[in-house]
Chain A
Amino acid sequence: MTAIPPAISVSAISVSALTKKYGEIEAVRGIDFEVAAGETFGFLGPNGAGKSTTIKILCTLADPTTGSARVAGHDVVTERDTVRRNIGLVFQDTTLDTYLTGEQNLRFHADLYGVPKQAFAPRLKQVLEMVALWDRKDSVVATYSGGMKRRLEIARGLLHAPRVLFLDEPTVGLDPQTRVSIWEYINDLKQREDITIFLTTHYMDEAENCDRIAIIDHGKIVAIDTPEALKASIGEDRVQISTADDPAAIRELRERFGIEAAVREGLVTFSVASGEQFVPRLFAELPDTVRIRSVSVARPSLDDVFMSYTGKTIRDAEATIGDRNRMLATRFGRR
């Protein structure tokens, strides 16, 4: 995967000074970014930040007001049909014909995209096996579960071997297990096909799967980097302890370590630069009167990154559960 051939080093997506106005409202206010071929690029932002407008422009479904965008080396306005032939789209809402079978849906797509007839059968088998739907290809789509429908759409998006695959909220509305499995398919896809993936998501834990992410807010890109670098950029680890005497613990933390702590979620919570090195000191130096019952150290999550750049949380119960799991995993003594 790492060896992306440099032969033609054209960016898969290249956006420059892009703006889009709807009447008075400026949905996108001058954005620039590049997505390299083979990259998985996450596009995050609160609702109404300009996320869907940008993706619409990149998919040729809306024209930019000013600026330009090139996808797979072609201009989205002047070479619209060429762009369309080179991209695969999976929308938030299903766009399947539920009266047709899985195979019929894909055949429809193949004919619309002019997939060569002799290539259709092997390619059909390949994409359906990739999403584990080959044995269900003759069932009417109405009988599919939500996760199966999404997988079928991903398979359909790949059928004409696009160079760039757009996934707009690929896992929205799916249960947690199905979301995990969808991501397994996407990661598997990256191994098998030489493809660039551009996706939007609300789920911060999913954004971790991206090579790079961009955060858009109020129509502008406020951060763009790898998930690791973004997390590092906002710094400190979060430590939570449960003690026999919380007010005493908070007092001791202030007096001995100069750390401001507060009770959050029923636990004494504070931030330090390097959590796992701080915790042993904590045990050594806290007096016996303040007995520690449990400790957890959490790295800054992408939620924190998102929060610090946009001032908003992506309100989402799933993400909260994800955080808690991560915290459990990083429990003191188990690392």
Chain B
Amino acid sequence: MAASTTEASTTEAAPEQNLTDAIRVAVPAQSLRHDMRAVSIVWRRELIRFKSDRLRAVTALVQPVLFLFVLGTGLSRLAGHGLPPGVDYKTFIYPGVLAMSVLFTAIFSAASIVWDREFGFLREMLVAPVHRWAIVVGKCLGGATVATFQGIVFLALAGVANVPYNPLLMLTLVGELLLLSFTLTAFGVMMAARIKQIQAFMALTQMLLMPMFFLSGALYPLSGLPTWLTVLTRIDPLTYIVSPIRHAVLSHLNLSPLAMRTVSPAITWDGWAVPLGLSIGMVAVMGAVLLGVAIAEFRKTE
């Protein structure tokens, strides 16, 4: 490649390419297809990074495994009396711990934005001639995918908690995990738009995640609680996804309607039972709203 008789200017629509010359790259005008391509590459980058970071995948598994095996086994003798026959405490907390397994991965994915800002890569994305929404959507989809993967790994342990490997159940759970992961990542990305230091971001999300987990009814049924705790559990958004996940798991165990009501009571608002569909719908709407806010936030920066 020696010759260098480059003729200028008329780059517009000249598709003929002379490889010995500077290769003519006519960057097209902005279009939806172009934006979708940006979504796709931002999404793929999350996957590549997740694949190359096996340590993260392993460490993210530690906490749910501890909860399921150590806490689940340790407390099962105590909690066993309150549970109907055939339902192990491990089985009871499995849905909540499953939700937990995606919690941290989803938030970590969003944290990578703060990371990217610190290492400058965010700038590479923000100066590109694409709409900001494409970057944010790509990021949220990436985080959701990666976190769901993490959930699927934990799903493989279902048998240990006496949860059957029913294909329909597995499919339902993956769908619910995807929804949860997306909403959480959107929440994280929205926070990442504002919080510029990784330490602050981590501290703040940790501070939010643990109470969310404890209040979600992951470890205990949501009925018959003192009023103050009832109110707090109803405010916790995580409650509205843990409940449908638990319902899906337990309904595959052939329990009597009475037993079902004991271990998987409906979420009630002042006595009114919230339908599962509404519960899931609320999480979906929340995800969409958080995504919208995140996009608006990123439109503002710089």
- Whole-angstrom CA separation of A32 from B37 in the bound complex: 38
* B45 contact set on A, CB distance < 8 A: 97, 100, 104, 108
| The one of B7, B23, B38, B53 that contacts A111, using a Cβ cutoff of 8 Å | B38
| The one of B23, B30, B128 that contacts A122, using a Cβ cutoff of 8 Å | B23
- Whole-angstrom CA separation of A234 from B145 in the bound complex: 64
CB distance from B300 to the nearest CB of A (A): 13
Quick check: A113 and B4 within 8 Å, CB to CB? no
Quick check: A113 and B124 within 8 Å, CB to CB? no
CB distance from B143 to the nearest CB of A (A): 16
Given contacts A8-B9, A119-B17, A193-B6, contact A112 B24 (CB under 8 A): no
Q: Is B302 an interface residue (CB 8 A)?
A: yes
How many B residues touch the partner, as a band?
Answer: 35 or more
One digit per residue, 1 when the CB lies within 8 angstroms of any chain A CB and 0 when it does not, for chain B 34-54 equals 100110110001001100110
Give B110-132 interface residues, CB cut-off 8 Å to A.
116, 119-121, 123-125, 127-130
* A81 contact set on B, CB distance < 8 A: 30, 129
One digit per residue, 1 when the CB lies within 8 angstroms of any chain A CB and 0 when it does not, for chain B 13-28 equals 0000101001111111
Quick check: B124 and A109 within 8 Å, CB to CB? yes
| Total number of A residues with any Cβ neighbor in B under 8 Å | 49
Quick check: A95 and B121 within 8 Å, CB to CB? yes
Q: Is B206 an interface residue (CB 8 A)?
A: no
Quick check: A115 and B27 within 8 Å, CB to CB? yes
Quick check: B28 and A116 within 8 Å, CB to CB? yes
- Whole-angstrom CA separation of A8 from B9 in the bound complex: 7
| The one of B7, B27, B41 that contacts A194, using a Cβ cutoff of 8 Å | B7
Q: In this complex, what residue of A is CB-closest to B21?
A: A192
- Whole-angstrom CA separation of A97 from B23 in the bound complex: 25
- Whole-angstrom CA separation of A83 from B7 in the bound complex: 21
Quick check: A94 and B28 within 8 Å, CB to CB? no
One digit per residue, 1 when the CB lies within 8 angstroms of any chain B CB and 0 when it does not, for chain A 46-88 equals 0000000000000111100000000000000000011011100
| The one of A107, A108, A115, A194 that contacts B25, using a Cβ cutoff of 8 Å | A115
Seed contacts A62-B302, A95-B123, A129-B1; 15 additional CB < 8 Å A-B pairs: A5-B7, A8-B9, A85-B27, A91-B120, A93-B120, A100-B48, A108-B45, A109-B124, A111-B37, A111-B38, A114-B28, A161-B27, A193-B6, A194-B6, A194-B7
List the interface of chain B (C-beta within 8 A of A): 1, 4, 6-11, 17, 19, 22-30, 34, 37-38, 40-41, 45, 48-49, 52-53, 116, 119-121, 123-125, 127-130, 302
